[in-house]
A and B are shown apart, each in its own frame.
Chain A
Amino acid sequence: MHEMSLVAGLFEILEEKAREHGARRVTAVRLRVGRLAGAVPELLVTAFDMYKKGTLAEEAALITVPVPVLVRCRACDEKFEVDDYVFQCVACGAPDLEILSGTDMLVESIELETDEDASL
């Protein structure tokens, strides 16, 4: 399952951020998942729940936020959403589109639990 290796990348970020903020635990993760990112949100959640056991995010919930595919036509500058895999400008028909969003997976925010004494 390819979601497992994606989640491994997510945990690298979680560990790095927790260290940066002196946090002991991660309690929630919001992940923006592009529709063309090549991952199934439900499988990401399953992989996350398998991976988190014994880690600093053991109690955390993964919340996925779907991100639509937005493109810009390089010929006429029209911006629109692609939802059927047809990469052609809806205004002028040109095929040369720049993808603006919807192909990646970004950690939007995480909720951390910190030791108050340590941050004083």
Chain B
Amino acid sequence: MKRKDVAVYEDILKSNVAAAAEVRRRMRERGVLTVNLMSSPGAGKTTLLERLVEKLTPPGRLAVIEGDIETERDAERLRAKGVPAWQIQTGGACHLEARMIGRLLDELPPDLDFLFIENVGNLVCKAFLTAQVLVLSKADLMGLLPFDPERARREALEVNPALEVFRVSALTGEGLDDFVACLHRARAKLTPEDGRHA
């Protein structure tokens, strides 16, 4: 019996990174803009999606993958709008991983424009650094609460200056058209080299 040290220098996320690259490649080839939505619970992701379904495209050309700890509830809300929706129960993992998404790709309808992934998770992790869009939800409550949207925007841009920031109210519809236009622009820009629109 002997012991030896072996230098490795490998990323422990490498299999997730590879699976994510594969998901991006497949969606890019099909011309599908894939949007990964993340927020803390209760921010209004599902409600925002319900409004987007009405604005974006015929409902059948949009699909949603829902991540949830235990329930089917969010997927049911979207199916009620005519949207193909899958629920992945993460069972305590804090967010969806690329392989969980990869397994579902074969089940997606053939003619899709948009795939939304409603992820589980807070933004404590580095997701915030690589996000491309920040949606400040519940704009109808701004002014009623001490929350300062301008300060939130400024501080978010300090961390990630590339962010495009939208103020949206799913209740009144405020700001929705601008966000929808941004999604259409991002989809139009999809090229084989750049499939990355978070």
Residues of chain A touching chain B, judged by Cβ–Cβ distance below 8 Å, are 1-2, 4-7, 9-10, 12-13, 17, 21, 27, 31, 36-38, 85-88, 95-96, 99, 103-116
Expressed in whole angstroms, the minimum distance between the Cβ of A105 and any Cβ of chain B is: 5
Give the 8 A-B CB pairs with smallest separation, nearest first: A38-B125, A95-B161, A9-B12, A2-B94, A107-B8, A10-B12, A105-B12, A38-B126
Instruction: Report Cα–Cα, A17/B9, bound state, in Å.
Output: 11
Contact assessment for A108 and B7 in the assembled complex, using a CB-CB cutoff below 8 Å: yes
Question: What are 24 residue pairs bridging A and B, where the CB atoms are less than 8 Å apart in the complex?
Answer: A1-B92, A1-B94, A2-B93, A2-B95, A4-B93, A6-B13, A9-B15, A13-B8, A13-B12, A31-B12, A38-B125, A38-B126, A86-B158, A87-B129, A95-B157, A96-B161, A105-B13, A108-B9, A111-B4, A111-B6, A113-B2, A113-B3, A114-B3, A115-B1
Give every chain A residue within 8 A of B3 (Cβ-Cβ): 27, 111-114
Give every chain A residue within 8 A of B1 (Cβ-Cβ): 113-116
Q: Known interface pairs A87-B158, A114-B1, A116-B2. Does A106 touch B11 (Cβ–Cβ under 8 Å)?
A: yes
Give every chain A residue within 8 A of B40 (Cβ-Cβ): none
Contact assessment for A109 and B10 in the assembled complex, using a CB-CB cutoff below 8 Å: no
B97 CB–A CB distance under 8 Å: yes
Contact assessment for B15 and A12 in the assembled complex, using a CB-CB cutoff below 8 Å: yes
Instruction: Report Cα–Cα, A112/B1, bound state, in Å.
Output: 10
Contact assessment for A110 and B159 in the assembled complex, using a CB-CB cutoff below 8 Å: no
Of B2, B10, B16, the residue contacting A114 (CB under 8 A) is B2
Interface positions, chain B 11-50, Cβ under 8 Å from A, are 11-16
Instruction: Report Cα–Cα, A114/B125, bound state, in Å.
Output: 38
Total of A-B residue pairs, C-beta within 8 Å: 96
Expressed in whole angstroms, the minimum distance between the Cβ of A107 and any Cβ of chain B is: 4
> Which of B5, B124, B127 has the most A CB atoms < 10 Å from its CB?
B5
B132 CB–A CB distance under 8 Å: no
Instruction: Report Cα–Cα, A82/B8, bound state, in Å.
Output: 27
Expressed in whole angstroms, the minimum distance between the Cβ of A25 and any Cβ of chain B is: 9
Contact assessment for B6 and A109 in the assembled complex, using a CB-CB cutoff below 8 Å: yes
The contact string, 1 if C-beta is below 8 Å from chain A, for chain B 155-166, is: 001111100000
**B157 (CB) vs chain A CBs: closest residue:** A95
Give every chain A residue within 8 A of B9 (Cβ-Cβ): 106-108
Expressed in whole angstroms, the minimum distance between the Cβ of B123 and any Cβ of chain A is: 10
Instruction: Report Cα–Cα, A95/B160, bound state, in Å.
Output: 8
Of A2, A99, A110, A114, the residue contacting B8 (CB under 8 A) is A110
Contact assessment for B4 and A112 in the assembled complex, using a CB-CB cutoff below 8 Å: yes
Give every chain A residue within 8 A of B127 (Cβ-Cβ): 38
Expressed in whole angstroms, the minimum distance between the Cβ of B92 and any Cβ of chain A is: 7
Give every chain B residue within 8 A of A111 (Cβ-Cβ): 3-6
Instruction: Report Cα–Cα, A86/B10, bound state, in Å.
Output: 28
Instruction: Report Cα–Cα, A21/B5, bound state, in Å.
Output: 11
Contact assessment for A108 and B2 in the assembled complex, using a CB-CB cutoff below 8 Å: no
Give every chain B residue within 8 A of A37 (Cβ-Cβ): 126
**A35 (CB) vs chain B CBs: closest residue:** B126
Give every chain B residue within 8 A of A7 (Cβ-Cβ): 12
